[in-house]
Each structure stands twice: as structure tokens, then as C-alpha cells.
Amino acid sequence: MKKKAISVVASTLLVSSVLAACGSKDSAPASSGGEAASAKPTEISIMTMYYTPEPPGPDNVIVKEIEKKTNTKLKITWVSPNNYGDKINVTLASGDIPDLILLDDPFSAQVRGMVAQGAFWELTPMLKDYPNLMEYPKESWDNTKQADGKTYGIPRARPTDGGGFPYLRKDWLDTLHLEIPKTTDELYTVLKAFVEKDPDGNGKNDTIGYIGFVDQNGMAYMGQLQNSFTKVNGDWKLVDGKLVNVNVLPEMKDALTWMNRAYQEKLIPEDIAVLKNTQAKDLLKANRGGGFQDTAEAAWEPTEELRKTNPKADFIPLVSLNGYSNKDSGFFGMYAIPKSVPEAKVKQLLKFMDYGATQEGYDLASFGQKDVHYTEKDGIKTPTEQAKKDIVAQQALGQIFLKYDKYLRAYRTGMPNDYLERNRKIIDEKVKISAGDPSLGLNSDTNQKVGTELRKKIQDMKTKVIMGKESLSAWDSYVAKLKTDPDMVKITEEMNAAYQKRNSAK
């Protein structure tokens, strides 16, 4: 998944009303009745990641309950996300692959090669028998298909809307009698007012309009501002039916012109090239920043902190800018099944994962047992101390079992209902207009070899232009050379060939 800021899984609890059961099939266990009582438990090995301080052990109370509900015996290899990529490489190379393995990047060169060699089960013809998995959004399935247009894994489904996008201080807008901006021009006016008109009323010139920053690999937390000019979520845009790298488009110069002006007028941080995520969030929580880029629910984090001293503090996620909102991929990795697994067991594995996509399975994995691991009031689940002791969290077993919820990025624990309902409406509006990445999942061998360094060179030039170390005319010259750069030309050719091949396979 071309990693976005969304690659960090938020530590959220979901609202049960949001996760309403989908018919009678939604509560059917993987094995039931006499079958569960008489059949020998299916042994299932799984490799996945965890985000809790420690992973659940084999004797974990929820692991045992899942085994009971699904008539399975689980052997889970938990790996920290900090070194998951390395572990995947070693495991795939060894040939000793678990029954279910989370491929965090389904389009790595290693995975592509193994798919081409027939190393994983092709699941397309089987999936129709697993209705809860089929409730995952179409984008989750489509965007995890390989070059041949076929499905080789169960997506770890994520919402397509509500991902990282600008959010702003609504209370500051109200104080200054400003409307929520809908264009980048209106946003500029707002940020200038945030800096110059003392929105916090402390009599000091100490506020920052928008706390965005870049890094050496890309536009980072200025990314969706850039995309509001190019109107596509990614590095490639369809122009007259062909993929064009956004960096050679005139819209990119417009974006850099806007950012250079904002930098000169101190509407964005002076240390834009070195600022870190934690530092940016600290500035927001210290009442210094008027805006930031993050998921819709994440806007509650600085809001909650500020409300301890200012009850009116309020960060509101923007629906769009220039008519653009970002549509994400709909997945964060996928679970693949190696061809070494017999076909009969493949169906048992799909049955197991289908149970995890039910309300019952998801709630058990993510929240545990009611009145033991969580309490519920007004549809909101609140974890107990026992949940921490038993390592019951969406960040642990909830990484395996997932019932899809399009409002996953609307709610964070502790958020009041009015804030949640506003987020849900914002996400509904985003769905109507959001634009994704047309190049998602496409491969270019040249890009695999030189793309990382080429992107770093492009970003280095962008950063210099934003900070005024290079002129906008220098950017024009750079783009002229980039258009004829042999590597860029080759990557563009290969990306378009892959795009045409994928479309013809549909």
C-alpha cells in the first residue's frame, strides 16, 4: 500500500451502532452445532503484526474463546510493525510460510514474483461462498488484485474515505468570523488571519497557520495540500487516458507557488524540512497551530487536550479543497494463503476469516467480553482495566479479524456524540467527490530499481522551492529535464503498459 499516514493504525474503539449486524448471516459462527462438537479442531498458523506493548500469548483468554467459537487451534506468530517488512522477506524466502500470512505490501517485487510463480492460492472462484468477506468494499478487493486481475489474498479492509486530510481550528474561524474554506485560495486567507489576527486572544504573535512538513521521501504532511492542486491522491494522474507523473504537470507549480508564498509569509513552519510528527502534534496541543493533516478521527486528539482548558476548542476536518478529497486504497495489506495448503483447508481458512468479519467475531477480537473487557453505554464501548491485562484491543487480535465499517475513521474513544455525528456527515460528503490513485498496484521494473532515488531528488527540489532556496523558474527548468529523463520516460512507459494490461484483464 503505497504507505500513507494512514499506515499507522489508530487506537480507536468503534461505536456498536456503527457496526450494526448485517442480517442473520452476520452472527453465524465458523463452525456450529454438531459440526463443532464432533469435528477435530483445524490447526491454523498465522503471521501478523501487533501494535500493543506486548502481543497476546497462546493462552490468552480471547485467543481461547476464538478457538472455541471457530473450532480451531491457533498458532500465531506476532511481529512488531517496526521490523515486519524484514520478517516478511525472510519468511517468504524460506518457503516455510504460515497458513495465513499478512503481506503488508501486496505489490512488493518479492510478492509479485511469487504470485507469478504460483506460490499463493488464487481465491477469486471461492470467495462467493463467504458472504461476510464479500461485504468488504469493492475497492478493497479491486485494489489488491495482482497484475493478472486475480485475487490472491483477503484484504485487511480499511475505509476509502476519512483518511489524512487538512483539519482546522473551527473555534478560531468563529472568533475571526471566517467561513470554513472550500478552496486553497480561501484557505490561504484563513491561515493568514490565523497568524496575524491573534485568534487565541493572548495578545501575542505566536500562532502558526498550518503545521505541515515534508521529508526527504515526499510531501508527507503537506501531501494533501499538494493533491488539492493536482486533484489526485498519488504521483500519477490520468490525462487523456494515459498516466502522467504529477510532478511534470503545471498544477504542481501552482502548488509550489502557493507553498512558497505561505512559507515566506510564515503561515507554515520555518523548520518545515525537519519537523517531526510528534513535534507538530505538540504544537497543536499547545494551542499554537491552526491546522494539520490527519485522519478525520485523529482531529479529536488535539481537540480533547485543548478542551481541558478551553471547552470551545475544536478542530474540524475539511470535506474538500478545490473540489478534491482523497480516496484511500481500501486496504492495509492482505492475508495470503500459500499453495502448500490443501484446498480443503483453504476453505476452512476462508470460513475462519469470514467469521472474523461478523459482528460477533470482530467484537470478540477487538473488544473482548462485555462487562469484563468493556462496558457499553449509549452504543459506545469503553475498555476496562481487564482489557489491558488481557491484551484485548483492535491493535492486537483486531489485526486479524475485521468487520468492515466505512466510519472507522469517524470515531475515537472519548469522543462525544456530536463530534462523531459531524465526522460521519463529513465522511458521507467526501464519498461523493473523493479521488483515488489510478496507479495503485501497478508495477514498473525501472521504478523498482531507481524510483526511490528519483523521488528523493524530486522532493529535494520541491523543498528548496518551497523554502525559497531555488526559484520557481528553476523548477520550470527542472521539469523540462525531468520530462526527458531516461528513467522517468521508462517508468512512465512501464506504468502505462501495466495500466493497459490491468484494464484488459478486467
In a domain, 231, yes or no: yes
> What confidence score (pLDDT) does residue 23 get?
35
Q: How confident is the model at residue 379 (pLDDT cuts 50, 70, 90)?
A: confident
3-state secondary structure of 417: helix
CB 73 within 8 A of CB 43: yes
Q: Looking at residue 227, what DSSP letter applies?
A: H
Strand spans (E) along 161-318? 165-169, 236-239, 242-245, 291-294, 315-317
Q: How confident is the model at residue 345 (pLDDT cuts 50, 70, 90)?
A: very high
> What confidence score (pLDDT) does residue 506 get?
60
Residues 444 and 375 in one domain: no
Residues 305 and 190 in one domain: yes
Q: How confident is the model at residue 1 (pLDDT cuts 50, 70, 90)?
A: very low
- Match 529535494 to its residue by C-alpha cell: 460
Sequence-distant (6+) residues with CB within 8 A of 404 are 135, 136, 137, 140, 157, 357
Instruction: Work out the angle between the directed axes of helices 486-505 and 445-466 (0-180°, nearest 10).
Output: 120
Quote the mean pLDDT of the chain.
91
> What confidence score (pLDDT) does residue 378 get?
77
In a domain, 115, yes or no: yes
Residues 95 and 225 in one domain: no
Q: The pTM is what?
A: 0.81
pLDDT at 402 exceeding the cut of 70: yes
In a domain, 417, yes or no: no
In a domain, 77, yes or no: yes
pLDDT at 7 exceeding the cut of 90: no
In a domain, 338, yes or no: yes
> Which of 280-294, 317-331, 377-391 is the least confident region?
377-391
Residues 317 and 380 in one domain: no
Domain end (from 409, 441, 476): 409
Following DSSP, what letter does each residue of 124-180 receive, concatenated?
TTTGGG-TTGGGS-HHHHHTT--TTS---SEEEE--SSS-SEEEEEHHHHHHTT-PP
Residues 289 and 339 in one domain: no
In a domain, 425, yes or no: no
Following DSSP, what letter does each residue of 454-493 receive, concatenated?
HHHHHHHHHHHHHTTSS-HHHHHHHHHHHHH-HHHHHHHH
In a domain, 155, yes or no: yes
Q: Name the residue among 213, 136, 156 with its Cα closest to residue 1.
A: 156
Residues 207 and 319 in one domain: yes
Residues 221 and 301 in one domain: yes
Convert 63-120 into a string of H (helix), E (strand) and C (coil): HHHHHHHHCEEEEEEEECHHHHHHHHHHHHHHCCCCCEEEECCCCCHHHHHHHHCCCE
Residues 337 and 227 in one domain: no
CB 192 within 8 A of CB 208: no
3-state secondary structure of 35: helix
Give the residue, 502 or 371, on which the prediction is more confident.
371
Q: How many domains does the chain have?
A: 2
Reading the block at residue 130, the C-alpha cell is: 463467504
pLDDT tens-place string over residues 386-395: 999 999 988 8
pLDDT tens-place string over residues 308-329: 999 999 999 999 999 999 999 9
What CATH number has the domain bearing residue 461?
3.40.190.10
Sequence-distant (6+) residues with CB within 8 A of 99 are 44, 45, 46, 337, 338, 341, 345, 349
> What confidence score (pLDDT) does residue 5 get?
34
Residues 67 and 197 in one domain: no
Residues 56 and 82 in one domain: yes
pLDDT tens-place string over residues 40-51: 999 999 999 999
3-state secondary structure of 331: strand
State mean pLDDT over 200-215: 96
How far apart are the C-alpha atoms of 387 and 52, rounded to whole Å? 12
Residues 275 and 308 in one domain: yes
Sequence-distant (6+) residues with CB within 8 A of 224 are 164, 165, 166, 233, 293, 321, 326
What sections of 307-410 are H helices per DSSP? Answer: 343-356, 359-367, 385-389
In a domain, 2, yes or no: no
Domain interval for residue 270: 166-325+433-506
Residues 179 and 294 in one domain: yes
Starting at the edge strand that comes first in sequence, how are the strands of the sheet with 315-317 ordered?
Answer: 291-294, 165-169, 315-317
pLDDT at 2 exceeding the cut of 70: no
State mean pLDDT over 171-198: 98
Whether the CA torsion 197, 203, 205, 206 is positive or negative: it is negative
State mean pLDDT over 10-31: 36
State mean pLDDT over 282-300: 97
For residue 470, the Cα-to-chain-centroid distance in whole angstroms is 33
Domain end (from 394, 409, 424): 409
